[in-house]
């Protein structure tokens, strides 16, 4: 093996002098997982497509495999077999761990494969009970509810987590902001309520650009890497960022079950990470503006937008949501999210269809809710497309049934005309006079940029507040 190749393989085991130097988040996004390239005379990371690796030392191979079976640590020296690890995938794992602020990360073929591995790891220790807070991504909900992997779930609200814990509880799972309502939880307070039980936080919507759950007490940080981490709608993957001990268990599960990530996907994800901060902040600025416009539109009953910002917007319409989906032309009507182009979908029909209707509605996923993943297009073009779709005769903009309200205000069940010029306060059961859209939407004040709000703090300093009472924002 030539020296350059051996150095790349050593990199897979964590060899990286530059990792120890503190760097800003944007710099990490570009350089993490790539620090050894210049020493090899390379600029782009190599893609290693090998499924197996030659070795004339079978005794040494046996010792390395025994060590992996004991701890799950990545084997020392060159790779052995594709299911044990791949150098290209290892670069992505290292980079994602750096961005999330964890010791390690383990990549899988999909987000659901990653979650399944976590559940199997806990079940292997006799800890099959899971406490979870709705809403979650629809398939995550289904995996837990159906007990497909032998788990048992107790659904609760954040305030009920501590009471729901049992001796056999192996995991507490939350998603914040949640899919698809964008509801948020106080992760630090939830982690405190978990005690010694690991908290898994699905950070797919926020990404480490907006929050790093490990800094707030989460032991496991889950991503559907298909979404923002890849960022271009052309790769499917999942990843769990965590401590090295848990990572070892996940590698053993991955080896046994085969849910490995393809090296080409690992390459695309590493490339996606390099532009992640730029993409998230640009799309978030557009999403915040669209949320403001939707909140002021008489055809929209309610807008959901998280306090931490982000590129996801959910909104409920007075008319037929299916006709809004059918009416868009620039925006892509498709499931998934986090791509450079804007996507819109109807959760009750697609992403959360698999969840029982009563459970779905009880979690705030109404039949009139639309979820929009805002991309990098110009805000005026996106608004023009939304405006046309909302104006569709079939979407019911002339007559509407008001079924949503803000913050517990009275729910109306009336059919009424919607003449132009009628104020939103008359038609939408908005907050009391004097409460601004900033209060309703938790959008940054004018003049305060997402970049300022979400900049990575200095090493050792958190930008998160002290723990508050557990509850949804």
Task: Show which residues are catalytic.
Answer: 83, 137, 202, 227
C-alpha 180/C-alpha 271 separation (Å) is 27
Locate 227 and state its tokens: 């979404």
Tokens 């600025």 locate to: 285
C-alpha 283/C-alpha 281 separation (Å) is 6
C-alpha 375/C-alpha 331 separation (Å) is 9
Strand order in the sheet with 300-304: 300-304, 312-317, 369-373, 343-345, 332-333
C-alpha 139/C-alpha 335 separation (Å) is 13
C-alpha 103/C-alpha 245 separation (Å) is 9
From 180, 203, 184, select the one nearest 347 (Cα to Cα).
180
From 357, 346, 421, 114, select the one nearest 240 (Cα to Cα).
114
Locate 244 and state its tokens: 């090295």
Neighbours of 63 (CB within 10 A): 13
């Amino acid at each position: 093996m030539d020296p350059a190749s051996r150095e790349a393989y050593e990199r897979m085991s964590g060899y990286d002098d530059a990792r120890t130097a503190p760097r800003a988040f944007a710099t990490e996004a570009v350089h993490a997982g790539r620090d050894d390239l210049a020493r090899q005379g390379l600029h782009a990371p190599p893609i290693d497509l090998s499924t197996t690796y030659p070795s004339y030392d079978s005794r040494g191979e046996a010792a390395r495999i025994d060590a992996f079976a004991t701890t799950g640590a990545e084997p020392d020296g060159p790779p052995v077999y594709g299911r044990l690890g791949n150098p290209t995938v290892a670069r992505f794992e290292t980079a994602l761990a750096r961005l999330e602020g964890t010791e390690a990360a383990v990549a899988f073929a999909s987000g659901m494969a990653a979650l399944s591995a976590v559940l199997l790891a806990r079940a292997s220790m006799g800890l099959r009970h899971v406490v979870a807070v709705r809403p979650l991504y629809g398939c995550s909900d289904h995996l837990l509810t159906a007990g497909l992997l032998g788990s048992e779930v107790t659904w609760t609200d954040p305030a009920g987590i501590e009471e729901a814990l049992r001796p056999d509880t192996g995991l507490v799972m939350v998603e914040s902001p949640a899919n698809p309502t964008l509801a948020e939880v106080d992760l630090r307070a939830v982690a405190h309520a978990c005690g010694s039980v690991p908290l898994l936080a699905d950070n797919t919507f926020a990404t480490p650009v907006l929050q790093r759950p490990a800094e707030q007490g989460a032991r496991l940080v889950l991503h559907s890497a298909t979404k923002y981490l890849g960022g271009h709608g052309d790769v499917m993957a999942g990843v769990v960022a965590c401590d090295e001990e848990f990572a070892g268990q996940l590698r053993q599960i991955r080896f046994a079950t085969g849910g490995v990530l393809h090296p080409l996907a690992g390459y695309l994800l590493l490339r996606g990470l390099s532009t992640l901060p730029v993409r998230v902040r640009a799309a978030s600025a557009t999403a915040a503006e669209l949320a403001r416009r939707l909140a002021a539109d008489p055809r929209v009953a309610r807008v959901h937008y998280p306090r931490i910002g982000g590129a996801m917007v959910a909104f409920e319409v007075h008319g037929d949501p299916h006709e809004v989906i059918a009416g868009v032309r620039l925006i892509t009507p498709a499931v998934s999210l986090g791509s450079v182009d804007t996507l819109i979908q109807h959760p009750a029909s697609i992403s959360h269809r698999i969840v029982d209707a009563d459970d779905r509605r009880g979690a705030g996923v109404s039949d009139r809710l639309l979820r929009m993943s805002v991309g990098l297009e110009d805000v005026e073009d996106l608004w023009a497309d939304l405006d046309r779709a909302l104006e569709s005769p079939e979407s019911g903009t002339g007559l509407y049934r008001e079924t949503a309200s803000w913050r517990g205000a009275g729910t109306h069940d009336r059919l009424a005309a919607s003449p132009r010029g009628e104020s939103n306060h008359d038609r939408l059961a908005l907050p009391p006079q004097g409460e601004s859209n900033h209060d309703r939407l938790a959008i940054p004040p004018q003049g305060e940029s997402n970049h300022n709000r979400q900049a990575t703090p200095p090493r050792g300093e958190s930008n998160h507040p002290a723990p508050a009472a557990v509850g949804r924002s």
